[in-house]
């Protein structure tokens, strides 16, 4: 069994796509996953799975959640080692002093280089960002809700599924996965 971090996109936001974490844990337990732990109510899970490949596991989970809970949700998965590397890299540590305004966008695959180039050409100062592999680290000093940069880091623009978590959540997920 491999320890995996599971990020569901867009559940429990507003009145639509509501998923009780207890129901999600029960569904996944019945499907054969072990050591299932949730963090908060927004689709953050840690579990152990026989499927070691994060991309395949994401697809399996999407199907199981759609069938078992009747909710369509994109699922992005990282191994414990991958999430540890995300936290260790922390490229904006010098400027991102407020963890809730510092986000990591987890991408389902590497984005189109042309999309990254187009976003780099847009001035979003004082916001800052950098990409490494399938993660984009973004600092939103004036908040995320009205952030021009946050709006640019979308599925449509990047051509891949994207789900973002603030730095507090990222580090708590790593702690949960390592416990």
Banded model confidence at residue 12, pLDDT cuts 50, 70, 90: low
Average pLDDT score, the chain: 93
Percent of the chain surpassing pLDDT 90? 82
Give the model confidence (pLDDT) of 116-168 as tens digits. Answer: 999 999 999 999 999 999 999 999 999 999 899 999 999 999 999 999 999 99
Partners of 7 in the beta sheet? 44, 76
pLDDT score recorded for residue 52 = 83
Which residues have a Cβ under 8 Å from the Cβ of 40 and sit 6 or more positions away? 169
Give the model confidence (pLDDT) of 96-123 as tens digits. Answer: 999 999 999 999 999 999 999 999 999 9
Q: Average pLDDT for residues 29-50, to the nearest whole number?
A: 92
Give the model confidence (pLDDT) of 156-179 as tens digits. Answer: 999 999 999 999 999 999 999 998
What six digits make up the tokens of 157? 């623009």
Domains along the sequence of the chain with CATH: 2-81 (3.30.70.1280), 84-178 (3.30.70.1260)
Give the model confidence (pLDDT) of 82-100 as tens digits. Answer: 999 999 999 999 999 999 9
pLDDT score recorded for residue 43 = 86
Q: Cα(152)–Cα(117) distance, rounded to whole angstroms? A: 12
Which residues have a Cβ under 8 Å from the Cβ of 164 and sit 6 or more positions away? 103, 104, 105, 106, 138, 150, 153
SS3 163: strand
What six digits make up the tokens of 39? 């963090």
Q: Cα(142)–Cα(6) distance, rounded to whole angstroms? A: 28
CA angle, residues 140, 138, 149, in degrees to nearest 5 = 65
Residue 151, number of CB atoms within 10 A of its CB: 11
What six digits make up the tokens of 113? 């280089």
Inform me whether the pLDDT recorded for 15 exceeds 70. Answer: no
**Residue 83: CA count within 13 A, CB half-sphere:** 26
């Amino acid at each position: 069994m491999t320890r995996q971090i599971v990020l569901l996109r867009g559940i429990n936001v507003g009145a639509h796509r509501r998923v009780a974490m207890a129901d999600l844990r029960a569904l996944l337990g019945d499907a054969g996953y072990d050591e299932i732990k949730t963090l908060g109510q927004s689709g953050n899970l840690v579990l152990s799975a026989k499927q070691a490949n994060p991309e395949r596991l994401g697809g399996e989970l999407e199907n199981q959640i759609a069938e078992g809970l009747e909710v369509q949700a994109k699922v992005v998965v990282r191994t414990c080692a991958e999430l540890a590397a995300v936290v260790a890299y922390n490229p904006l540590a010098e400027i991102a002093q407020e963890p809730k305004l510092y986000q990591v966008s987890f991408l389902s695959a590497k984005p189109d280089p042309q999309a990254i180039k187009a976003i780099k050409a847009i001035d979003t100062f004082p916001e800052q960002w950098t990409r490494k592999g399938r993660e984009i680290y973004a600092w939103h000093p004036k908040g995320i809700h009205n952030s021009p940069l946050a709006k640019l880091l979308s599925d449509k623009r990047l051509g891949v599924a994207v789900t973002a978590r603030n730095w507090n959540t990222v580090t708590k997920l790593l702690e949960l996965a390592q416990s």
